[in-house]
Structure 1
């Protein structure tokens, strides 16, 4: 197979089914987060309440992450993902009921709010298992030699779902209300389950089945810390997401600063994902594995600049453009990071490495949301966003200066090695 074929991964039927599963799953999850953000801020008008949503999810996600990675490496991946999707469907149905006036019409505002937080908290447990399971299943549906191409398409589908989910959420809130928007989310989670059943069960590649939990966890963490490429990519992205979490404050920008309502909110929320999707499609033709370390540093630096421009903007379309370019740079970062993780991680450790990654990067989305909500409460929304973007720039400059090894990282040798092994 021609390694320059931009559609190489799409020639495998199971991978195409995997993409459908991932699209429906991410679409439902991203749409749900946006709908809940809108509902909570509409109830409270308090920026900190948006941060609490992230905090409620990140506590169980981080607390369970390493244990979840151990379970994933010891389990059959397809069936474990089915259980995760069933859990998500139950939580989505619960949120559907909590946004139904016929059910909660006599409830107090605080009771509704705390019930939403509780279901988001349960969702954190589901997410702790879902991320490592998807990462591990990915490696079982395509050959190693096309991991970079497959990672590009997988990330592109993730971004497409992240475009359409938030955009539809913004419009559907206007058209059919929060309650029936939640109904759509339940439907898409059911579709993800239906697609997933089309993938057969996969072999467990871990040679250490039955290994003690503590030994397993120690091995996973040690591997990440000792592998400079993985540790550097994870750390960089974590800092960028942690301090560049302007997305969590979009309801405030839409309602109080730019005054564009729920439809404008949908456009703002979708703009970063549109940028990321475009760059990911382009990267199928222009691979990013050469000089990957330097490209990652430049991409995250550009992300920080975009966030600062967005924070200072008082014009809707300037804000949209800034968010679009934040998505372009974030898309480059995501592709490079996912390629590093797939190429540098042994098959039997994918669950644990992905769990460590989710602790650093995945959970930093929610910690970033909490940081943004808290700093917005303390110093004002605009100042909080500009502060976050500035911290991202300083982090990239410091990392680039003190880590010349990562700066020179190139993945060509890893790709050539996989070609020989195949």
Structure 2
């Protein structure tokens, strides 16, 4: 029997499904682990190199392998056991976390004597694993729900979980690193990744969705791209997020702001990293109780523009608390965009194609975080840290204007 939200909205409907709760718990743990790792790796590499471009290269080292495997990862997710793909990729992430921990021990420190290349190699390997994890995770979640009506609510809670973990992760990473040291921070990273693996193991495997599709591997690999480019709503939403994240992402440069501009140290870096997610969590919790039903397209465009304004104000700020406020507000705006885009993709994509469409989405949006990190580092080296952040925010606003003119269906979207 379906819960009462069929007649009356139930903000906790998806959380009443036991396997979805396990999925949420696993996502919570792996997100905290990856956020801790991101904070510690960024600070560690910047302290070694003192080069903003080296921070951008962290994102590039993860994005390149993720993009390379994306289409094949989507094909695998639509044709093979999704749970086993998730278990395999999380196991690789456990190995990567353990390797970073090993580099901080006496036995492993000699490896870093040659420089930061070993760290980049580990990040490259984790990029491959995350490239396969994304499509499998995306397409596995709907199979845990008893009805399509749960999608929007499940996406909201999944996003809330991710963002809440993104609040805790950077703060925990910064505090662990600042007070207990780098080895303790990486040890917690390993423990949480193992815990995530355990939660996924408790979820039963699901059969692949039925399909009458008969395509060659080449045709199947390209079908996700054709589907996305043939749907103006999905293409418009993905493109908007792609360029907003590509130009408006200041996260990669936060170690510089924490160290040189705001002078807050690793503890302050943790809070700066957490601020956007705090805003996102607050907004996602609000949307769980007050979902967007009208003028979703216009609201999405306005929120991405608001995100760009917040990035500009953050760039010119010299006050730690104002900087935190702008990052938190940017997270609120971003949360709305993420939830609308994810709901669109889940709603308009057939179940048997979700792996491949998710892979295309990861190429556009997922990897744009890492490529945006490289862009931020490269532009910061060319024109300076603050001008690069302001430039990125301005470009985000320009992208919103172009999208509003070109994507009429997205502009007029109702949900």
- Normalising by structure 2, report the TM-score: 0.96
- Partner residue, 1:196: 200
Runs of 4+ in 1 over 3 A off after TM superposition: 104-109, 208-211
The 8 Å contact of residues 67 and 213 in structure 1, kept in 2 or not, is answered as no
- Partner residue, 1:52: 57
- Partner residue, 1:306: 310
Residue 87 of structure 1 pairs with residue 116 of structure 2: no
1:294-349 Cα shifts (integer Å, max 9, x gaps): 11101100000000000000111010000010100011111111111110110000
- Partner residue, 2:186: 182
Q: How does 1:78-157 map to 2 (within 5 A)?
A: 78-100=83-105, 102-107=106-111, 109=113, 111-142=114-145, 143-157=147-161
- Partner residue, 2:284: 280
Residues of 2 paired with 1:108 and 1:281: CA distance?
Answer: 43
SS at match of 1:139: helix
- Cα deviation, residue 112, structure 1: 4.0
- Cα deviation, residue 402, structure 1: 2.3
Which of residues 7, 13, 28 is equivalent to 1:8? Answer: 13
Which of residues 392, 395, 399 is equivalent to 1:391? Answer: 395
1:95-122 Cα shifts (integer Å, max 9, x gaps): 111122x02444454x240000001011
The 8 Å contact of residues 174 and 262 in structure 1, kept in 2 or not, is answered as yes
Unpaired segments ≥5 residues, structure 2: none
- Normalising by structure 1, report the TM-score: 0.95
Q: How does 1:225-304 map to 2 (within 5 A)?
A: 225-304=229-308
1:331-383 Cα shifts (integer Å, max 9, x gaps): 11111111111101100000000000000000000000000000000100000
- Partner residue, 1:415: none
SS at match of 2:32: helix
Unpaired segments ≥5 residues, structure 1: 412-422
SS at match of 2:61: helix
Q: How many correspondences in the alignment?
A: 409
Superposed CA RMSD in Å reads 1.2
1:148-187 Cα shifts (integer Å, max 9, x gaps): 0110000000001111111100111011111221110100
- When residues 107 and 350 of structure 1 are mapped into structure 2, their CA distance, relative to the original with a 3 A threshold, is closer
The 8 Å contact of residues 73 and 206 in structure 1, kept in 2 or not, is answered as no
Q: How does 1:375-414 map to 2 (within 5 A)?
A: 375-411=379-415
Which of residues 76, 81, 87 is equivalent to 1:76? Answer: 81
Residues of 2 paired with 1:258 and 1:401: CA distance?
Answer: 38
